[in-house]
Amino acid sequence: VGADLGSAVRLRGYEAGDLQPIFELDEICFEPPFRFSLRAMRRFAEAQNALTVIAESDAGEGGEIVGFCLAHLEPSGRQQVAYVVTLDVAPEHRRRGLAARMIRRIEEQARDAGCVAIGLHVWVGNETAIRFYEREGYERTRLARGFYGAGLDAFVYSKLIAPEGGMG
Ligand SMILES: CC(C)(COP(=O)(O)OP(=O)(O)OC[C@H]1O[C@@H](n2cnc3c(N)ncnc32)[C@H](O)[C@@H]1OP(=O)(O)O)[C@@H](O)C(=O)NCCC(=O)NCCS
């Protein structure tokens, strides 16, 4: 039970007008080397192959964006996979299962789009995110040295997602 008892957070897709608020939320969630520029954020959110989830709280007037997840579809050999670009939850909304709801929604979208797997990079020092992804069933596959710049390594994580219709 959260502090803002009575308010609900709903998930929806990306809409025009979301760019500035998600950019600002990303600045709160990540330190400089890990942040995206407004331009990069626009490119990711508005790409034709983007999968997006926006978490909007009904507290206050007009709804407030309290989390988001951006992913995209990409070919991998003859198959299609999804790649998680970023996952952000506003600090005051953490530890209430919101990131879990969003990543599961992204996985559903990826499955519906025919993906067999979903992958991501996470900075090796981001213990919170590592714990989160491992709990969600992601497995560490390798180390990507210098992925975030000199001396800033990333772990690559991935998860197999069952094709539509289940495993038979
Ligand atoms: C990582 C992040 C997205 C998690 O969001 P969240 O909404 O708090 O996550 P959830 O509430 O869905 O957490 C689900 C589980 O993940 C694990 N987890 C999440 N945050 C944790 C923390 N700070 N410490 C330990 N475990 C944690 C727990 O197992 C948690 O379940 P529990 O609360 O029942 O113990 C959020 O902390 C965040 O935005 N961080 C900054 C940005 C970032 O690092 N993004 C991910 C990298 S792309």
Q: Which residues contact 125 (CB under 8 A, 6 or more apart)?
A: none
Whether residue 52 has its Cβ less than 6 Å from ligand 1: no
Q: What is the largest CA-CA distance in the chain?
A: 48
How far apart CA 46 and CA 16 sit, in angstroms, is: 9
Half-sphere exposure of 61 (CA within 13 A, CB side): 0
**Cα 119 to ligand 1 centre (Å):** 17
- Look at residue 1 in the predicted model and tell me its pLDDT: 47
Residue 133 and residue 127 in contact, taking contact as beta carbons nearer than 8 Å: no
- Look at residue 55 in the predicted model and tell me its pLDDT: 98
What global pTM score does this model have? 0.94
**Cα 168 to ligand 1 centre (Å):** 32
Whether residue 135 has its Cβ less than 6 Å from ligand 1: yes
- Look at residue 75 in the predicted model and tell me its pLDDT: 93
- Look at residue 165 in the predicted model and tell me its pLDDT: 57
- Look at residue 60 in the predicted model and tell me its pLDDT: 75
Q: How many CB atoms lie within 10 A of CB 64?
A: 17
How far apart CA 50 and CA 63 sit, in angstroms, is: 23
- Look at residue 4 in the predicted model and tell me its pLDDT: 57
Nearest to 52 by CA among 27, 3, 88, 2: 88
pLDDT in tens, the chain (168 residues): 455 566 799 999 999 999 999 999 999 999 998 999 999 999 999 999 999 999 999 987 778 999 999 999 999 999 999 999 999 999 999 999 999 999 999 999 999 999 999 999 999 999 999 999 999 999 999 999 999 999 999 999 999 997 765 554
